Structure 1
Amino acid sequence: MSASDDAPSPPKQVKSMQKKDDSDVVLIPQPSDDPEDPLNWPFRKKLIIFVCVCLAGFAGQMSPNSNQLTFILQVPTYHRTEADLLNSVAASLAGWMAGPFVLTPLAGLVGRSSVILWSLVGTFACQIWAGEMTGPDDFIPFTISRLICGLFGVIPAIMGAGYIMDMFFLHQRGKAFAIFEVLIIFAVVGGGTLGGFIANSKPWSYVFWWTLGPLGAAILSVFFFVHDTTYNRSPGSDAEKRAPMPTSWLANRVATFFPGTRTQPDQRVVEFKRRAIAPFQITIAPITLLVGTFVFVALGLPIMQASTLAIYVAPPVVAGGYGFSSLQIAFFTMTAWVGIIGAQICGYLFNDKIPLWVARRRGGTWHPEYRLANTILPGILLPVGLGIYGAGLQYHLHYMVLTLASFLIWFGALLALPICYNYIIECFLHTPVEASVALNSYRIAFGLMSVFIVTQWQSAVGVGWMWGMGAFFVLIVDVLMAVAILKGHLVRTLTVHVSTSIAATEDGERVFSENEKSSTSA
């Protein structure tokens, strides 16, 4: 044995990158030397995939509720009440909530890309189905089409979290989640808005037909440009890595989508079972219960506001409404557009910058709770917006008061949502899609429940206090978010005790180099 055999191997060089502020940011996770590793892909390729997944999420999410502002126009066709047609909107929400639990485990068998493509195809078919349901006896089939459309349409929005975690580093994820999650909620509001514009001059069935264009574009973009990003970088798990994908474009497309089994390691059945169980484990994990309760209220109330808007503003003034046509309702919802776009800009600028600034000030070590500092502002703005909205409806104030309230509601809610998604997914690094499924259930639950209870709730306390109670609910869950900010690391410890198989974070990783730490201390 030579002396060199006893010598310790040189330490592996930590890879980092220089930021514009001259700080040396350590790359987390550390990329491997494998060209199959998505972290090593050119940024242009990452960006193209990300844009295509964003388009898929947007098109899929806006389709199930494309009649959100126009369901009242369907009352004469089906000879049903407004409450019955509102239930068709609720069917879409139910699909949004249940679909991820039912369909995302299939990613363990055929991969995320294949699940996204075929879910978009299913959504496309459901929109054609709904557009054809124009007869007086078609209400039940129409409602079923909304349920199934919700099951399929939500899937690209859920799968997007996996691509973000696979392709981007810790210091880039805040921007990516801000763009992606805000765009998904923009689809919820924007789909209804565009449907309102169309229904002003066309039959109500056109609110389904126009969505075929974006859906078709999403299907083509996913097929042509989205690559599988599966890569297991866990130590000692080489046997679980899939074989390299074909380099030929056509062969790669066939392997990825027809049906996509080559994108997954050999233990596909085991992976399917794991992905089927993990969302339920994450849903009841202590840290998810804490942050999820905040999401349940803070995102559920805006969904309730969007789902019930037509009920308040469409009736004539003598009946206590504002006499808005479908066109006017569509214009009104553009205040939410402004709030959503503003939230996206703020998220892009600050969702990474502030947590990294906190980490730098505290010695350069990363803790996931640093991300939650960005929820303080929306925790203040959201209850203010809800209070103004309730007062405006109670005293029938000028509709511009309602537009201000709508802006504050959506700006505050959409500032908070990407942060919460990012945080929870970083608490369960090995199961990002399943973590997204869990938080999606909290996001949708209140909005779904509210459709069935809003009439009784309003009758019991009045419209003003109904929304005022919503404002107080947000203040209550703000306390839970404060607990997560200050003591989230202890709550995550409880999660580890509940299930060691799913809890995985980057807590304690050094996000700035030793040189940066020294200069900061000085």
Structure 2
Amino acid sequence: MAATPSMEDVEIKSPPTTTTTDAKEPKVETGKHGDIVVLVPQPTDDPDDPLNWPMSKKILIFACVCFAAFAAQMSPNSNQLTFTEQVPVYQVSVAAMLDSVAAGLAGWLAGPFLFIPFCAVIGRSSVVLWSLIIIFVCQIWGAEMTHVDDYISFTISRLFCGFFGAVPAILGSGYIIDLFYLHQRGKAFAIFEVLIIFAVVGGGTLSGFVAQTQPWNYVFWWTLGPVGAAIVSVILFVDDTTYTREPGSTARPALPKSRVANRLATFCPGTRTQPAGKTETFIKRALIPLQITIAPVTVLTGTYVFIALGLPVMQASTLATYLEPPVEAGGYGFNPLQIACFTFTAWIGIIGAQVYGYFFNDKIPLWLARRRDGTWHPEYRLANAIFPSIILPIGLGIYGAGLQYHLNIMVLALASFLIWFGALLALPVCYNYIIECFLHHPVEASVSLNAWRISFGLMSVFIITEWQAAVGVGWMWGMGAFFVVLVDIIMAFLILKGHVVRGMTVRLFPGIAWTEDGAKITVKADGAASP
């Protein structure tokens, strides 16, 4: 059986006489091994269609959006490994400082619901830019809160930074859907979602190195460099990628070709990038995330994400509380530098998940499609969730045992690697699946799944003390492992019967649920369906 073509070794072939999505001879990509992958969605002949842009331009825009999301996502909780150093400054308890971490998580959860609808007014790229600018201001705000009576103001700064910190990360899904074909999205989502979580872990790691030699507020000052660079890259290189494909939909007027005029039209304030009827569209885009959040297919996938991604978020948010206390108090006596070094275990897990996802997140679903007459079903994406569903509970169990019996730090390191490797294998798969269930509303689908992802991590900050006191640290994380096993059953049901759940979703929300289910995605060289 021929191998699946990669993005690098394909050429685009077009039929000689037709160029529309209704063509009898669809446009395809042919790999070096003779595989033929049908382009879904079918590109038009319009040069303004993002699907027709050169791959170099697509990758440049995607890279800038990834960097913007990374810089934004790491900012709200850039003190997650060093917040204990602020306890004597504000003269509050460690639990109170955890509340400031929770404020950033609350902003991550609520911000997209509040600000994503503004894409209908000023455009997606403009929302990304202005979110980064506000984050830049909030980081300065947090860094200046160095007096004993600044605790409340500091916590508010984390809340507002969280509001806008999640926005670029959510909007990235829209760029992926606009720029890449179905058979390329798995790689793109793997890269993007892994970078988002890497920002949460990596930002804390870098802040730990900074805090070892500098005052604690420098963990906010240093982030101004990446955020500022992201602002510049968005202004210079990120173009508006929205393109109307639905028959009868209102298209926006063409943007200016002159680079300066194009930048002004895109970002200042960006209203030129949107078609008429902004008020009606704003209201619609404010309601759609709420509808998607309670849709049956989202509830089941979201429940899986709630547990499988919430527990790693809890692990990252509370790591300092386990490693920093002295050995005689049950901790490991780590300073901020040592804690930062420990988080490299998560880095390795995240990078491993990145490599795995790049090679398999598209290959396995396409292989399944070829085995079933070349017809596409979104549930093929979920096959990549089987491996992490096995790894993640093992990692959580080892982590709980290591803390319970105060085992060697290398045991915790192994557990941390397994937790993040498993979680970051599953996250892009779930995001890709839900977005392809609501393909006309990728950003709103991301808002909904983000809420499910963040909720457990936010809730855990408030309940972890009582939970741990009730069952002990070992069983707290052990219960987390069993929770993952339970939601693994949900994932197995979605893999086998997801099409039934999607049918229920279509009946409940016929105006927003739309997929590429049933599309012919692979064919043989002679035009017959693949075996």
TM-score in terms of structure 2 length:
0.95
Report SS of the residue matched to 1:146.
Answer: helix
The answer to whether residue 118 in structure 2 is matched with residue 106 in structure 1 is yes
Q: What secondary structure, in the 3-state scheme, does the structure 2 residue paired with 1:200 have?
A: helix
Q: Which residue identity is paired with 1:244?
A: A
Query: Which 10-residue stretch deviates more, 31-40 or 339-348?
Result: 31-40
Alignment of 1:366-515 (within 5 A): 366-513=376-523, 515=525
**C-alpha distance in structure 2 between counterparts of 1:520 and 1:61, whole Å:** 42
User: For 1:71-111, what per-residue CA distance to the aligned partner results, in whole angstroms no more than 9, with x for missing partners?
Assistant: 00001100010000111000000000000000000001111
Q: Write the mapping of 1:303-322 to structure 2, written as runs, cut at 5 A.
A: 303-322=313-332
Q: Is residue 2:359 matched to residue 1:353?
A: no
Instruction: Provide the C-alpha distance between the structure 2 equivalents of 1:30 and 1:486, rounded to a whole number of angstroms.
Output: 28
Alignment partner for residue 335 of structure 1, among 335, 342, 345? 345
Is the CA contact (8 Å cut-off) linking 2:524 and 2:530 kept in structure 1? Answer: no
How far 1:284 moved relative to its partner? 0.2
* Aligned equivalents of 2:251, 2:528: Cα separation in 1: 39
Task: Report the equivalent of 1:156.
Answer: 168
Give the drift of 1:516: 6.2
Alpha-carbon offset, residue 21 of structure 1: 3.1
* 1:13-61 per-position Cα deviation (integer Å, ceiling 9, x unaligned): 3100112332110000000111111101111110110000000000000
Task: Confirm or deny that 1:73 pairs with 2:96.
Answer: no
- Any stretches of 5+ residues in structure 1 without a counterpart? 1-9
* Partners of 1:17 and 1:267 in 2: CA distance: 37
Decide which of 143, 147, 150 is 1:135's aligned counterpart. Answer: 147
Give, in whole Å, the separation in 2 of the partners of 1:26 and 1:155.
33
In structure 1, what is the equivalent of residue 63 of structure 2?
51
Q: Secondary structure at the match of 2:149?
A: coil
Are 2:61 and 1:61 aligned? no
CA contact (8 A) 2:307 2:456 kept: yes
CA distance in 1, matches of 2:527, 2:403: 54
Partner of 1:40: 52
Q: Distance in 2 between matches of 1:379 and 1:317?
A: 33
Give runs of aligned pairs for residues 1-40 of structure 1, distance below 5 A: 11-40=23-52
Q: Deviations over 1:292-316 (max 9, x none)?
A: 0000000000000000011111000
Q: Is the 8 A contact 1:302 1:410 kept in 2?
A: yes
Residue 90 of structure 1: aligned partner: 102
Judged with a 3 Å threshold, the aligned counterparts in structure 2 of structure 1 residues 134 and 193 are, in CA distance, closer, same or farther, namely: same
CA contact (8 A) 1:158 1:436 kept: yes
Distance in 1, Cα, partners of 2:252 & 2:337: 52
Match of 2:226 among 190, 195, 214: 214
Displacement after TM superposition at 1:146 (Å): 0.2
Unaligned runs of 5+ in 2: 1-21
CA contact 1:343–1:415 (8 Å) conserved in 2:
yes
Helix, strand or coil at the partner of 2:141: helix
Q: Distance in 1 between matches of 2:327 and 2:248?
A: 69
Answering whether residue 275 of structure 2 is matched by residue 265 of structure 1, we say yes
Identity %: 68
Deviations 1:199-237 (A, max 9, x none): 011000000000000000000000010000111101232
- Aligned equivalent of 2:133, options 98, 107, 121: 121
Alpha-carbon distance between aligned partners in 2 of 1:20 and 1:283, rounded to the nearest angstrom: 42
Name which of 256, 260, 263 aligns with 1:253. Answer: 263
Q: Which amino acid aligns with 1:43?
A: M
Structure 2 CA distance, aligned partners of 1:479 and 1:256?
45
* 8 A contact 2:522–2:530 mirrored in 1: no
Further displaced range: 115-124 or 507-516: 507-516
Deviations 1:85-143 (CA, angstroms, capped at 9, x unpaired): 11100000000000000000000111100000000000000000000000011000000
Q: CA contact under 8 A between 1:363 and 1:517: conserved in structure 2?
A: no
Q: Which residue of 2 aligns with 1:7?
A: none
Using structure 1 for the length normalisation, give the TM-score.
0.97
Aligned pairs, number: 510
- Pairwise CA distance, 1:520: 3.8
SS in structure 1 opposite 2:148? coil
Residue pair 1:231, 1:241 contacting (<8 A) in 2 also: yes
2:40 touches 2:521 (CA, 8 Å); kept in 1?
yes
Contact 1:56 1:215 in 2 (8 A): yes
Letter in 2 for 1:151: F
Q: Aligned-pair distance for 1:473? A: 0.1
CA 1:292–1:21 in 2, change beyond 3 Å: closer, same or farther?
farther
Counterpart of 2:133, as a letter, is: V
- Is residue 364–residue 517 contact of structure 1 (8 Å, CA) maintained in 2? no
Q: Deviations over 1:383-430 (max 9, x none)?
A: 000000000000000000000000000000000000000000000001
Equivalent residues of 1:174, 1:351 under 8 A apart: yes
Q: Does 1:177 align with 2:183?
A: no
Amino acid at match of 2:286: A
- Does 2:310 align with 1:300? yes
Whole-Å separation in 1 of the counterparts to 2:484 and 2:33? 36
Q: 1:11 to 1:51 in 2, by over 3 A?
A: closer
Q: Pick the structure with more helix per residue.
A: 1
The separation in 1 between residues aligned to 2:48 and 2:395, in whole angstroms, is 47
Displacement of 1:11 in angstroms is: 4.8
Q: CA deviation at 1:12?
A: 4.4
**CA–CA separation in structure 1 for the residues paired with 2:237 and 2:418:** 37
SS in 1 for 2:29: strand
Please list the CA deviations of residues 168-221 of structure 1 after superposition, one character each: whole Å capped at 9, or x if unmatched: 000000000000000000000001111111101100000000000000000000
CA–CA separation in structure 2 for the residues paired with 1:520 and 1:101: 42
CA distance in 2, matches of 1:496, 1:505: 10
Residue number in structure 2 paired with 1:286: 296
Counterpart mapping for 1:236-251 below 5 A: 236-237=248-249, 240-251=250-261
CA spacing shift, 1:395–1:472, aligned 2, 3 Å: same
Question: 1:280–1:438: 8 Å Cα contact kept in structure 2?
Answer: yes
Q: Distance in 1 between matches of 2:406 and 2:28?
A: 57
